[in-house]
Structure 1
Protein backbone atom coordinates (compact mmCIF):
# COMPACT_ATOMS: atom_id res chain seq x y z
CA UNK A 1 0.00 0.00 0.00
CA UNK A 2 1.28 3.47 -0.97
CA UNK A 3 1.45 5.45 2.28
CA UNK A 4 1.14 8.90 0.67
CA UNK A 5 -1.97 7.88 -1.31
CA UNK A 6 -3.47 6.42 1.85
CA UNK A 7 -2.83 9.62 3.78
CA UNK A 8 -4.57 11.79 1.17
CA UNK A 9 -7.52 9.40 0.82
CA UNK A 10 -8.16 9.38 4.57
CA UNK A 11 -7.56 13.06 5.28
CA UNK A 12 -9.37 14.74 2.39
CA UNK A 13 -13.14 15.04 2.63
CA UNK A 14 -15.92 16.54 0.51
CA UNK A 15 -15.40 17.82 -3.01
CA UNK A 16 -12.34 19.91 -3.81
CA UNK A 17 -13.04 23.35 -5.33
CA UNK A 18 -11.32 25.12 -8.16
CA UNK A 19 -11.70 28.02 -10.57
CA UNK A 20 -9.68 29.66 -13.29
CA UNK A 21 -9.56 33.40 -12.60
CA UNK A 22 -8.42 36.12 -15.02
CA UNK A 23 -7.25 39.43 -13.53
CA UNK A 24 -6.44 42.68 -15.36
CA UNK A 25 -3.92 45.00 -13.69
CA UNK A 26 -4.07 46.75 -11.37
CA UNK A 27 -5.61 44.12 -9.12
CA UNK A 28 -5.32 42.55 -5.71
CA UNK A 29 -7.24 39.70 -4.12
CA UNK A 30 -7.24 38.70 -0.48
CA UNK A 31 -7.76 35.02 0.34
CA UNK A 32 -9.00 34.66 3.90
CA UNK A 33 -7.63 31.94 6.21
CA UNK A 34 -9.72 28.78 5.97
CA UNK A 35 -9.00 26.39 8.87
CA UNK A 36 -9.39 22.75 7.95
CA UNK A 37 -8.47 23.26 4.32
CA UNK A 38 -5.48 23.29 2.00
CA UNK A 39 -5.28 25.77 -0.88
CA UNK A 40 -3.30 26.12 -4.08
CA UNK A 41 -2.50 28.82 -6.64
CA UNK A 42 -1.10 27.99 -10.07
CA UNK A 43 -0.02 30.79 -12.40
CA UNK A 44 -1.12 29.99 -15.96
CA UNK A 45 -0.35 33.32 -17.61
CA UNK A 46 1.46 36.49 -16.63
CA UNK A 47 2.93 37.10 -13.20
CA UNK A 48 1.91 38.35 -9.77
CA UNK A 49 3.05 38.61 -6.16
CA UNK A 50 2.07 36.50 -3.19
CA UNK A 51 1.83 38.57 -0.01
CA UNK A 52 1.71 37.00 3.44
CA UNK A 53 1.44 38.83 6.77
CA UNK A 54 4.66 37.40 8.23
CA UNK A 55 6.84 36.87 5.16
CA UNK A 56 8.57 38.74 2.37
CA UNK A 57 6.62 39.13 -0.91
CA UNK A 58 7.14 36.24 -3.33
CA UNK A 59 7.10 36.83 -7.08
CA UNK A 60 5.16 34.20 -9.02
CA UNK A 61 5.62 33.65 -12.74
CA UNK A 62 3.78 31.55 -15.31
CA UNK A 63 4.10 27.88 -14.39
CA UNK A 64 4.73 28.49 -10.68
CA UNK A 65 2.72 26.46 -8.18
CA UNK A 66 1.97 27.53 -4.61
CA UNK A 67 0.49 25.12 -2.08
CA UNK A 68 -0.79 26.23 1.34
CA UNK A 69 -1.39 23.00 3.29
CA UNK A 70 -2.85 24.71 6.38
CA UNK A 71 -5.27 27.12 4.69
CA UNK A 72 -3.18 30.18 5.58
CA UNK A 73 -4.50 33.60 4.64
CA UNK A 74 -2.66 35.38 1.83
CA UNK A 75 -3.03 37.92 -0.94
CA UNK A 76 -2.29 37.84 -4.64
CA UNK A 77 -1.65 41.13 -6.43
CA UNK A 78 -0.12 42.44 -9.62
CA UNK A 79 2.38 44.42 -7.50
CA UNK A 80 3.39 44.52 -3.82
CA UNK A 81 2.34 48.19 -3.83
CA UNK A 82 -1.20 47.59 -5.11
CA UNK A 83 -3.90 48.58 -2.64
CA UNK A 84 -6.03 45.51 -2.03
CA UNK A 85 -9.67 46.51 -1.89
CA UNK A 86 -11.32 43.32 -3.15
CA UNK A 87 -13.39 41.44 -0.56
CA UNK A 88 -11.81 38.46 1.17
CA UNK A 89 -12.26 35.26 -0.75
CA UNK A 90 -13.19 32.30 1.39
CA UNK A 91 -14.96 28.97 1.11
CA UNK A 92 -18.36 30.62 0.54
CA UNK A 93 -17.28 32.75 -2.40
CA UNK A 94 -19.69 31.58 -5.15
CA UNK A 95 -17.11 32.28 -7.83
CA UNK A 96 -14.71 29.76 -6.32
CA UNK A 97 -17.12 27.44 -4.55
CA UNK A 98 -18.44 25.53 -7.53
CA UNK A 99 -16.80 26.33 -10.84
CA UNK A 100 -17.07 22.86 -12.34
CA UNK A 101 -19.75 23.78 -14.87
CA UNK A 102 -18.97 27.46 -15.47
CA UNK A 103 -16.62 29.48 -17.61
CA UNK A 104 -13.53 30.92 -16.04
CA UNK A 105 -14.02 34.00 -13.86
CA UNK A 106 -12.99 37.38 -15.25
CA UNK A 107 -12.22 40.13 -12.75
CA UNK A 108 -11.34 43.24 -14.69
CA UNK A 109 -9.18 46.12 -13.59
CA UNK A 110 -8.18 48.99 -15.87
CA UNK A 111 -7.23 46.90 -18.86
CA UNK A 112 -3.62 46.36 -17.81
CA UNK A 113 -1.55 43.18 -18.25
CA UNK A 114 -3.48 39.97 -17.71
CA UNK A 115 -2.70 37.34 -15.10
CA UNK A 116 -4.54 34.01 -15.18
CA UNK A 117 -4.53 31.90 -12.02
CA UNK A 118 -5.87 28.43 -11.38
CA UNK A 119 -6.89 28.47 -7.72
CA UNK A 120 -8.72 26.11 -5.44
CA UNK A 121 -8.94 24.33 -2.13
CA UNK A 122 -9.23 20.90 -0.57
CA UNK A 123 -11.36 20.31 2.52
CA UNK A 124 -9.53 18.30 5.18
CA UNK A 125 -10.91 16.41 8.17
CA UNK A 126 -9.15 17.82 11.28
CA UNK A 127 -9.87 14.69 13.31
CA UNK A 128 -8.09 12.57 10.68
CA UNK A 129 -5.20 14.92 9.93
CA UNK A 130 -2.13 12.78 9.36
CA UNK A 131 1.09 13.94 11.10
CA UNK A 132 2.72 13.88 7.66
CA UNK A 133 0.51 16.82 6.61
CA UNK A 134 0.75 18.61 9.96
CA UNK A 135 4.53 18.90 9.60
CA UNK A 136 4.40 20.63 6.22
CA UNK A 137 5.40 24.33 6.11
CA UNK A 138 2.72 27.01 5.75
CA UNK A 139 3.80 27.67 2.17
CA UNK A 140 5.27 25.38 -0.49
CA UNK A 141 6.47 27.19 -3.62
CA UNK A 142 7.39 25.12 -6.68
CA UNK A 143 8.93 27.50 -9.24
CA UNK A 144 8.44 26.69 -12.91
CA UNK A 145 11.39 25.11 -14.67
CA UNK A 146 11.13 23.77 -18.25
CA UNK A 147 12.99 20.57 -17.43
CA UNK A 148 11.21 19.68 -14.15
CA UNK A 149 7.85 18.37 -13.01
CA UNK A 150 6.37 17.45 -16.42
CA UNK A 151 3.57 15.40 -14.81
CA UNK A 152 2.48 18.34 -12.67
CA UNK A 153 2.50 20.72 -15.65
CA UNK A 154 0.42 18.26 -17.67
CA UNK A 155 -2.16 17.86 -14.89
CA UNK A 156 -2.43 21.65 -14.51
CA UNK A 157 -2.97 22.04 -18.25
CA UNK A 158 -5.69 19.36 -18.27
CA UNK A 159 -7.49 20.94 -15.33
CA UNK A 160 -7.32 24.40 -16.86
CA UNK A 161 -8.77 23.06 -20.11
CA UNK A 162 -11.70 21.40 -18.30
CA UNK A 163 -12.55 24.58 -16.36
CA UNK A 164 -12.27 26.82 -19.41
CA UNK A 165 -14.32 24.53 -21.65
CA UNK A 166 -16.65 22.24 -19.64
CA UNK A 167 -17.86 19.17 -21.51
CA UNK A 168 -19.56 15.86 -20.85
CA UNK A 169 -17.81 14.24 -17.91
CA UNK A 170 -16.24 17.42 -16.53
CA UNK A 171 -17.91 16.94 -13.13
CA UNK A 172 -16.04 13.64 -12.78
CA UNK A 173 -12.76 14.71 -14.39
CA UNK A 174 -12.17 17.86 -12.30
CA UNK A 175 -12.17 16.24 -8.82
CA UNK A 176 -9.94 13.43 -10.09
CA UNK A 177 -7.46 15.93 -11.54
CA UNK A 178 -7.48 17.93 -8.30
CA UNK A 179 -6.59 14.81 -6.32
CA UNK A 180 -3.84 14.10 -8.83
CA UNK A 181 -2.48 17.62 -8.42
CA UNK A 182 -2.40 17.26 -4.64
CA UNK A 183 -0.44 14.01 -4.85
CA UNK A 184 1.99 15.44 -7.41
CA UNK A 185 2.66 18.50 -5.25
CA UNK A 186 3.32 16.40 -2.15
CA UNK A 187 5.44 13.89 -4.07
CA UNK A 188 7.62 16.66 -5.50
CA UNK A 189 8.04 18.43 -2.16
CA UNK A 190 9.02 15.26 -0.28
CA UNK A 191 11.45 14.31 -3.04
CA UNK A 192 13.09 17.74 -2.98
CA UNK A 193 13.64 17.48 0.77
CA UNK A 194 15.98 14.53 0.19
CA UNK A 195 18.70 16.76 -1.25
CA UNK A 196 18.89 18.59 2.07
CA UNK A 197 21.44 17.22 4.52
CA UNK A 198 19.28 18.17 7.52
CA UNK A 199 16.09 16.44 6.32
CA UNK A 200 14.20 14.85 9.20
CA UNK A 201 10.65 13.82 10.07
CA UNK A 202 8.21 12.38 7.57
CA UNK A 203 10.17 13.47 4.52
CA UNK A 204 13.00 11.29 5.79
CA UNK A 205 10.70 8.52 7.08
CA UNK A 206 9.04 7.92 3.70
CA UNK A 207 12.44 7.56 2.07
CA UNK A 208 14.16 5.55 4.81
CA UNK A 209 14.02 1.92 3.62
CA UNK A 210 13.52 0.25 7.06
CA UNK A 211 10.92 2.73 8.35
CA UNK A 212 9.17 2.92 4.98
CA UNK A 213 8.92 -0.89 4.90
CA UNK A 214 7.27 -0.91 8.32
CA UNK A 215 4.86 1.87 7.32
CA UNK A 216 3.89 -0.01 4.16
CA UNK A 217 3.22 -3.13 6.23
CA UNK A 218 0.95 -1.22 8.62
CA UNK A 219 -0.96 0.45 5.81
CA UNK A 220 -1.16 -2.74 3.77
CA UNK A 221 -2.76 -4.71 6.61
CA UNK A 222 -3.67 -2.65 9.69
CA UNK A 223 -5.68 -5.60 11.07
CA UNK A 224 -2.63 -7.87 11.34
CA UNK A 225 -1.47 -8.72 14.89
CA UNK A 226 1.56 -6.50 14.64
CA UNK A 227 4.17 -6.32 17.39
CA UNK A 228 7.33 -4.26 17.48
CA UNK A 229 9.30 -7.44 16.75
CA UNK A 230 7.18 -8.27 13.70
CA UNK A 231 7.44 -4.74 12.32
CA UNK A 232 11.20 -4.80 12.96
CA UNK A 233 11.38 -7.98 10.89
CA UNK A 234 9.57 -6.19 8.05
CA UNK A 235 12.14 -3.42 8.36
CA UNK A 236 15.08 -5.82 8.44
CA UNK A 237 16.33 -4.54 11.79
CA UNK A 238 16.47 -5.84 15.32
CA UNK A 239 13.74 -4.71 17.70
CA UNK A 240 15.41 -1.91 19.70
CA UNK A 241 17.21 -0.13 16.83
CA UNK A 242 14.03 -0.26 14.75
CA UNK A 243 11.85 1.20 17.52
CA UNK A 244 14.31 4.07 18.05
CA UNK A 245 14.61 4.79 14.34
CA UNK A 246 10.85 4.70 13.75
CA UNK A 247 10.10 7.04 16.68
CA UNK A 248 12.89 9.45 15.72
CA UNK A 249 11.59 9.90 12.15
CA UNK A 250 7.81 9.73 12.64
CA UNK A 251 7.50 11.23 16.10
CA UNK A 252 5.60 8.21 17.43
CA UNK A 253 6.56 4.72 18.62
CA UNK A 254 5.61 1.95 16.17
CA UNK A 255 2.61 0.63 18.10
CA UNK A 256 1.43 4.16 18.86
CA UNK A 257 1.33 4.91 15.15
CA UNK A 258 -0.36 1.57 14.47
CA UNK A 259 -3.17 2.35 16.93
CA UNK A 260 -3.57 5.88 15.56
CA UNK A 261 -3.80 4.60 11.99
CA UNK A 262 -6.31 1.92 12.96
CA UNK A 263 -8.56 4.49 14.64
CA UNK A 264 -8.18 6.94 11.75
CA UNK A 265 -9.11 4.21 9.27
CA UNK A 266 -12.08 3.25 11.43
CA UNK A 267 -13.27 6.88 11.52
CA UNK A 268 -13.20 7.05 7.72
CA UNK A 269 -15.14 3.78 7.42
CA UNK A 270 -17.74 5.01 9.91
CA UNK A 271 -18.28 8.18 7.89
CA UNK A 272 -18.14 6.73 4.40
CA UNK A 273 -19.75 3.29 4.68
CA UNK A 274 -22.71 1.47 6.20
CA UNK A 275 -20.56 -1.41 7.40
CA UNK A 276 -21.61 -2.73 10.83
CA UNK A 277 -19.39 -1.95 13.80
CA UNK A 278 -18.30 -5.57 14.13
CA UNK A 279 -17.07 -5.57 10.52
CA UNK A 280 -15.17 -2.30 10.99
CA UNK A 281 -13.65 -3.59 14.22
CA UNK A 282 -12.35 -6.67 12.38
CA UNK A 283 -10.92 -4.59 9.54
CA UNK A 284 -8.80 -2.57 11.95
CA UNK A 285 -7.54 -5.45 14.04
CA UNK A 286 -10.07 -5.95 16.86
CA UNK A 287 -11.74 -9.31 17.45
CA UNK A 288 -14.06 -7.76 20.06
CA UNK A 289 -16.53 -5.04 19.17
CA UNK A 290 -16.44 -3.93 22.82
CA UNK A 291 -12.63 -3.53 22.79
CA UNK A 292 -12.85 -1.63 19.51
CA UNK A 293 -15.51 0.74 20.88
CA UNK A 294 -13.38 1.49 23.96
CA UNK A 295 -10.28 2.14 21.87
CA UNK A 296 -12.21 4.37 19.47
CA UNK A 297 -13.70 6.41 22.32
CA UNK A 298 -10.26 6.94 23.85
CA UNK A 299 -8.98 8.16 20.49
CA UNK A 300 -11.89 10.32 19.30
CA UNK A 301 -13.67 11.17 22.54
CA UNK A 302 -16.96 9.64 21.42
CA UNK A 303 -18.25 6.08 20.83
CA UNK A 304 -18.16 4.87 17.21
CA UNK A 305 -21.96 4.80 16.89
CA UNK A 306 -22.29 8.41 18.00
CA UNK A 307 -19.38 9.43 15.75
CA UNK A 308 -21.20 7.96 12.75
CA UNK A 309 -24.53 9.61 13.65
CA UNK A 310 -22.89 13.03 14.02
CA UNK A 311 -21.61 13.02 10.45
Structure 2
Protein backbone atom coordinates (compact mmCIF):
# COMPACT_ATOMS: atom_id res chain seq x y z
CA UNK A 1 0.00 0.00 0.00
CA UNK A 2 1.56 3.29 -1.17
CA UNK A 3 0.47 5.62 1.61
CA UNK A 4 2.09 8.70 0.06
CA UNK A 5 -0.15 8.20 -2.98
CA UNK A 6 -3.27 7.30 -1.00
CA UNK A 7 -3.27 10.30 1.34
CA UNK A 8 -3.60 13.17 -1.19
CA UNK A 9 -5.99 11.07 -3.28
CA UNK A 10 -8.20 10.60 -0.24
CA UNK A 11 -8.35 14.38 0.38
CA UNK A 12 -8.86 15.40 -3.24
CA UNK A 13 -12.18 17.10 -3.99
CA UNK A 14 -11.47 18.11 -7.61
CA UNK A 15 -8.85 18.40 -10.34
CA UNK A 16 -5.97 20.85 -9.94
CA UNK A 17 -6.54 24.38 -11.20
CA UNK A 18 -3.52 25.85 -12.97
CA UNK A 19 -2.60 29.17 -14.54
CA UNK A 20 0.42 30.13 -16.62
CA UNK A 21 1.46 33.55 -15.28
CA UNK A 22 3.75 35.97 -17.08
CA UNK A 23 4.81 39.15 -15.34
CA UNK A 24 6.99 42.04 -16.44
CA UNK A 25 8.26 44.28 -13.65
CA UNK A 26 6.74 46.01 -11.88
CA UNK A 27 4.09 43.43 -10.99
CA UNK A 28 2.43 42.32 -7.74
CA UNK A 29 -0.83 40.42 -8.19
CA UNK A 30 -2.58 39.60 -4.93
CA UNK A 31 -3.69 35.97 -4.81
CA UNK A 32 -6.68 35.17 -2.55
CA UNK A 33 -6.89 32.02 -0.40
CA UNK A 34 -7.87 28.82 -2.20
CA UNK A 35 -9.79 25.76 -1.01
CA UNK A 36 -6.86 23.40 -0.90
CA UNK A 37 -3.10 23.62 -1.22
CA UNK A 38 -1.48 26.20 -3.47
CA UNK A 39 1.72 25.92 -5.46
CA UNK A 40 4.04 27.94 -7.68
CA UNK A 41 6.75 26.78 -10.07
CA UNK A 42 9.15 29.41 -11.41
CA UNK A 43 9.75 28.47 -15.03
CA UNK A 44 12.05 31.40 -15.79
CA UNK A 45 13.00 34.74 -14.24
CA UNK A 46 12.77 35.76 -10.59
CA UNK A 47 10.12 37.04 -8.18
CA UNK A 48 9.16 37.21 -4.52
CA UNK A 49 6.41 35.47 -2.58
CA UNK A 50 5.15 38.05 -0.10
CA UNK A 51 2.87 36.85 2.75
CA UNK A 52 -0.08 39.11 3.50
CA UNK A 53 1.47 39.55 6.95
CA UNK A 54 5.25 39.65 6.58
CA UNK A 55 6.61 38.42 9.93
CA UNK A 56 9.84 36.93 11.25
CA UNK A 57 8.31 33.44 10.99
CA UNK A 58 6.98 34.03 7.47
CA UNK A 59 9.24 36.57 5.72
CA UNK A 60 9.13 37.46 2.05
CA UNK A 61 10.68 34.66 0.02
CA UNK A 62 12.91 35.23 -3.04
CA UNK A 63 12.34 32.72 -5.87
CA UNK A 64 14.46 31.84 -8.88
CA UNK A 65 14.27 29.61 -11.96
CA UNK A 66 13.25 26.06 -11.13
CA UNK A 67 12.12 26.88 -7.57
CA UNK A 68 8.94 25.25 -6.28
CA UNK A 69 6.75 26.62 -3.47
CA UNK A 70 3.97 24.65 -1.77
CA UNK A 71 1.42 26.44 0.43
CA UNK A 72 -0.15 23.82 2.67
CA UNK A 73 -3.33 25.76 3.47
CA UNK A 74 -3.70 27.68 0.21
CA UNK A 75 -3.22 30.94 2.10
CA UNK A 76 -3.53 34.30 0.37
CA UNK A 77 -0.31 36.02 -0.65
CA UNK A 78 1.32 38.30 -3.23
CA UNK A 79 3.66 37.42 -6.09
CA UNK A 80 5.81 40.44 -6.89
CA UNK A 81 8.97 41.43 -8.73
CA UNK A 82 10.13 43.08 -5.47
CA UNK A 83 8.81 42.99 -1.87
CA UNK A 84 8.16 46.75 -1.99
CA UNK A 85 5.99 46.61 -5.13
CA UNK A 86 2.39 47.54 -4.17
CA UNK A 87 -0.12 44.69 -4.38
CA UNK A 88 -2.68 44.83 -7.16
CA UNK A 89 -5.93 43.01 -7.78
CA UNK A 90 -5.45 39.58 -9.31
CA UNK A 91 -6.02 39.56 -13.06
CA UNK A 92 -8.75 37.33 -14.45
CA UNK A 93 -7.46 34.09 -15.96
CA UNK A 94 -8.03 33.47 -19.66
CA UNK A 95 -8.76 29.92 -20.82
CA UNK A 96 -8.41 29.01 -24.50
CA UNK A 97 -10.49 26.17 -26.00
CA UNK A 98 -8.65 22.88 -25.54
CA UNK A 99 -6.02 24.38 -23.22
CA UNK A 100 -5.25 22.45 -20.02
CA UNK A 101 -4.71 25.65 -18.04
CA UNK A 102 -5.39 29.37 -18.07
CA UNK A 103 -3.08 32.31 -18.63
CA UNK A 104 -2.52 35.59 -16.82
CA UNK A 105 -0.30 38.38 -18.15
CA UNK A 106 0.83 41.38 -16.09
CA UNK A 107 2.44 43.83 -18.48
CA UNK A 108 5.22 46.12 -17.31
CA UNK A 109 8.44 47.39 -18.77
CA UNK A 110 10.95 45.10 -17.09
CA UNK A 111 12.33 41.61 -17.59
CA UNK A 112 9.77 38.80 -17.83
CA UNK A 113 9.10 36.15 -15.19
CA UNK A 114 7.14 33.02 -16.13
CA UNK A 115 5.42 30.86 -13.55
CA UNK A 116 3.01 27.99 -13.26
CA UNK A 117 0.60 28.84 -10.44
CA UNK A 118 -2.27 26.79 -9.16
CA UNK A 119 -3.97 24.80 -6.45
CA UNK A 120 -4.76 21.21 -5.60
CA UNK A 121 -8.37 20.95 -4.40
CA UNK A 122 -8.05 19.17 -1.04
CA UNK A 123 -10.50 18.82 1.84
CA UNK A 124 -8.85 21.17 4.32
CA UNK A 125 -11.71 20.87 6.82
CA UNK A 126 -10.40 17.39 7.70
CA UNK A 127 -6.73 17.40 6.69
CA UNK A 128 -4.86 14.13 6.94
CA UNK A 129 -2.11 14.21 9.62
CA UNK A 130 0.55 13.78 6.92
CA UNK A 131 -0.54 17.07 5.35
CA UNK A 132 -1.37 18.80 8.63
CA UNK A 133 2.17 18.25 9.94
CA UNK A 134 3.80 19.92 6.94
CA UNK A 135 5.12 23.49 7.29
CA UNK A 136 2.73 26.22 6.18
CA UNK A 137 5.08 27.09 3.32
CA UNK A 138 7.55 24.64 1.76
CA UNK A 139 10.26 26.15 -0.46
CA UNK A 140 12.16 23.67 -2.60
CA UNK A 141 14.99 25.59 -4.32
CA UNK A 142 16.05 24.36 -7.73
CA UNK A 143 18.54 21.59 -7.04
CA UNK A 144 18.64 18.85 -9.69
CA UNK A 145 21.29 16.96 -7.73
CA UNK A 146 19.11 16.68 -4.60
CA UNK A 147 15.68 16.37 -6.26
CA UNK A 148 16.29 15.03 -9.79
CA UNK A 149 12.72 13.78 -10.31
CA UNK A 150 11.18 17.07 -9.18
CA UNK A 151 13.58 19.02 -11.41
CA UNK A 152 12.71 16.76 -14.34
CA UNK A 153 8.98 17.29 -13.77
CA UNK A 154 9.48 21.06 -13.77
CA UNK A 155 11.44 20.87 -17.02
CA UNK A 156 8.79 18.68 -18.64
CA UNK A 157 6.09 21.14 -17.58
CA UNK A 158 8.09 24.03 -18.97
CA UNK A 159 8.58 22.24 -22.31
CA UNK A 160 4.88 21.42 -22.67
CA UNK A 161 3.79 24.94 -21.79
CA UNK A 162 6.28 26.68 -24.05
CA UNK A 163 5.57 24.40 -27.01
CA UNK A 164 2.13 22.77 -26.78
CA UNK A 165 1.70 19.77 -29.08
CA UNK A 166 -0.83 17.00 -29.56
CA UNK A 167 -1.29 15.31 -26.20
CA UNK A 168 -0.37 18.37 -24.09
CA UNK A 169 -3.93 18.66 -22.77
CA UNK A 170 -3.52 15.26 -21.12
CA UNK A 171 0.16 15.50 -20.21
CA UNK A 172 0.05 18.83 -18.34
CA UNK A 173 -2.67 17.87 -15.79
CA UNK A 174 -0.92 14.54 -15.16
CA UNK A 175 2.39 16.32 -14.53
CA UNK A 176 0.69 18.75 -12.15
CA UNK A 177 -0.83 15.82 -10.24
CA UNK A 178 2.63 14.23 -10.05
CA UNK A 179 4.12 17.51 -8.83
CA UNK A 180 2.25 17.21 -5.51
CA UNK A 181 3.72 13.75 -4.88
CA UNK A 182 7.22 14.90 -5.81
CA UNK A 183 6.89 17.78 -3.33
CA UNK A 184 5.72 15.47 -0.53
CA UNK A 185 8.57 13.08 -1.34
CA UNK A 186 11.21 15.82 -1.54
CA UNK A 187 10.32 17.64 1.67
CA UNK A 188 11.82 15.06 4.10
CA UNK A 189 15.08 15.27 2.12
CA UNK A 190 15.47 18.99 2.88
CA UNK A 191 17.41 18.53 6.10
CA UNK A 192 17.38 17.51 9.78
CA UNK A 193 14.37 19.68 10.67
CA UNK A 194 12.20 17.90 8.13
CA UNK A 195 13.49 14.48 9.17
CA UNK A 196 13.17 14.95 12.93
CA UNK A 197 9.85 13.19 13.34
CA UNK A 198 6.26 13.08 12.25
CA UNK A 199 5.17 11.39 9.04
CA UNK A 200 8.57 11.59 7.41
CA UNK A 201 9.84 9.33 10.18
CA UNK A 202 6.65 7.25 10.37
CA UNK A 203 6.88 6.15 6.75
CA UNK A 204 10.42 4.92 7.35
CA UNK A 205 9.87 3.37 10.78
CA UNK A 206 10.19 -0.42 10.78
CA UNK A 207 7.28 -0.80 13.19
CA UNK A 208 4.93 2.08 12.44
CA UNK A 209 5.13 1.89 8.64
CA UNK A 210 3.84 -1.72 8.45
CA UNK A 211 0.99 -0.84 10.82
CA UNK A 212 -0.02 2.11 8.66
CA UNK A 213 0.18 0.00 5.52
CA UNK A 214 -2.03 -2.68 7.11
CA UNK A 215 -4.67 -0.13 8.17
CA UNK A 216 -4.71 1.49 4.74
CA UNK A 217 -4.87 -1.85 2.94
CA UNK A 218 -7.71 -3.29 5.05
CA UNK A 219 -9.72 -0.60 6.86
CA UNK A 220 -12.64 -3.06 6.91
CA UNK A 221 -10.71 -5.67 8.92
CA UNK A 222 -11.93 -6.38 12.44
CA UNK A 223 -9.06 -4.68 14.22
CA UNK A 224 -8.80 -4.87 18.00
CA UNK A 225 -7.18 -2.42 20.37
CA UNK A 226 -4.07 -4.58 20.35
CA UNK A 227 -3.78 -5.27 16.63
CA UNK A 228 -2.44 -2.00 15.12
CA UNK A 229 -0.46 -1.26 18.29
CA UNK A 230 1.12 -4.72 18.19
CA UNK A 231 2.11 -4.21 14.56
CA UNK A 232 3.65 -0.86 15.46
CA UNK A 233 5.53 -2.32 18.39
CA UNK A 234 4.38 0.34 20.84
CA UNK A 235 1.26 2.48 20.70
CA UNK A 236 3.26 5.39 22.08
CA UNK A 237 5.68 5.27 19.13
CA UNK A 238 2.75 5.29 16.71
CA UNK A 239 1.14 8.20 18.55
CA UNK A 240 4.37 10.22 18.62
CA UNK A 241 4.98 9.93 14.87
CA UNK A 242 1.46 9.86 13.42
CA UNK A 243 -0.07 12.32 15.88
CA UNK A 244 -2.83 10.09 17.27
CA UNK A 245 -3.26 6.55 18.70
CA UNK A 246 -3.63 3.59 16.32
CA UNK A 247 -7.37 3.07 16.88
CA UNK A 248 -8.09 6.79 16.43
CA UNK A 249 -6.17 6.73 13.16
CA UNK A 250 -8.06 3.59 12.08
CA UNK A 251 -11.39 5.37 12.65
CA UNK A 252 -10.13 8.43 10.75
CA UNK A 253 -9.05 6.32 7.78
CA UNK A 254 -12.34 4.39 7.75
CA UNK A 255 -14.29 7.66 7.57
CA UNK A 256 -11.90 9.03 4.93
CA UNK A 257 -12.36 5.87 2.86
CA UNK A 258 -16.14 6.14 3.17
CA UNK A 259 -16.19 9.83 2.20
CA UNK A 260 -14.09 9.13 -0.89
CA UNK A 261 -16.41 6.29 -1.96
CA UNK A 262 -19.42 8.55 -1.50
CA UNK A 263 -17.83 11.29 -3.61
CA UNK A 264 -16.39 9.15 -6.38
CA UNK A 265 -18.62 6.08 -6.75
CA UNK A 266 -22.23 4.99 -7.04
CA UNK A 267 -21.76 2.22 -4.48
CA UNK A 268 -24.84 1.68 -2.29
CA UNK A 269 -24.58 2.72 1.36
CA UNK A 270 -24.45 -0.92 2.45
CA UNK A 271 -21.31 -1.42 0.37
CA UNK A 272 -19.73 1.81 1.62
CA UNK A 273 -20.48 0.76 5.21
CA UNK A 274 -18.88 -2.65 4.69
CA UNK A 275 -15.78 -1.17 3.00
CA UNK A 276 -15.40 1.15 5.99
CA UNK A 277 -15.54 -1.74 8.45
CA UNK A 278 -19.11 -1.35 9.73
CA UNK A 279 -21.50 -4.27 10.01
CA UNK A 280 -24.65 -2.23 9.55
CA UNK A 281 -25.74 0.86 7.66
CA UNK A 282 -27.14 2.34 10.87
CA UNK A 283 -23.85 2.06 12.77
CA UNK A 284 -21.99 3.49 9.79
CA UNK A 285 -24.44 6.38 9.32
CA UNK A 286 -24.20 7.26 13.02
CA UNK A 287 -20.39 7.28 12.94
CA UNK A 288 -20.28 9.22 9.67
CA UNK A 289 -22.69 11.89 10.91
CA UNK A 290 -20.66 12.26 14.09
CA UNK A 291 -17.52 12.88 12.01
CA UNK A 292 -18.90 14.91 9.09
CA UNK A 293 -21.95 16.56 10.63
CA UNK A 294 -24.37 15.12 8.08
CA UNK A 295 -25.77 11.80 6.92
CA UNK A 296 -23.89 9.86 4.21
CA UNK A 297 -26.65 10.44 1.63
CA UNK A 298 -26.63 14.18 2.23
CA UNK A 299 -22.84 14.29 1.99
CA UNK A 300 -22.95 12.45 -1.33
CA UNK A 301 -25.55 14.81 -2.80
CA UNK A 302 -23.65 17.89 -1.64
CA UNK A 303 -20.33 16.56 -3.01
CA UNK A 304 -21.91 15.80 -6.40
CA UNK A 305 -23.48 19.26 -6.58
CA UNK A 306 -20.20 21.07 -5.83
TM-score for the superposition, normalised by structure 2: 0.89
Distance 1:127 1:102 in 2: 26
Distance 1:29 1:177 in 2: 25
Q: Secondary structure at the match of 1:144?
A: coil
CA deviations 1:158-210 (Å, max 9, x no partner) are 223333333333332222111100000011113335x3398232232222221
1:67 lines up with 2:70 in the alignment: yes
Q: How many residues align?
A: 299
Offset of residue 217 of structure 1: 0.7
1:292 lines up with 2:284 in the alignment: yes
For residue 111 of structure 2, the aligned residue among 107, 113, 134 is 113
Contact persistence 2:229–2:246 (CA under 8 A): no
Which sits farther off after the overlay, 297-306 or 260-269? 297-306
Q: Secondary structure at the match of 1:5?
A: helix
Offset of residue 10 of structure 1: 0.8
Contact persistence 2:19–2:93 (CA under 8 A): no
CA deviations 1:31-68 (Å, max 9, x no partner) are 1222x221111111111122112332221111111111
What is the Cα-based RMSD across aligned positions, in Å?
2.3
Contact persistence 2:72–2:135 (CA under 8 A): yes
TM-score for the superposition, normalised by structure 1: 0.88
Distance 1:270 1:146 in 2: 40
Distance 1:69 1:96 in 2: 26
Who is 1:250 aligned against? 242
For residue 211 of structure 1, the aligned residue among 208, 213, 222 is 208
Contact persistence 1:39–1:121 (CA under 8 A): yes
Contact persistence 2:67–2:142 (CA under 8 A): yes
Who is 1:182 aligned against? 180
Who is 1:77 aligned against? 80
1:301 lines up with 2:293 in the alignment: yes
Who is 1:202 aligned against? 199
Distance 1:69 1:247 in 2: 22
Distance 2:198 2:162 in 1: 40
Gaps in structure 1 of 5+ consecutive residues? none
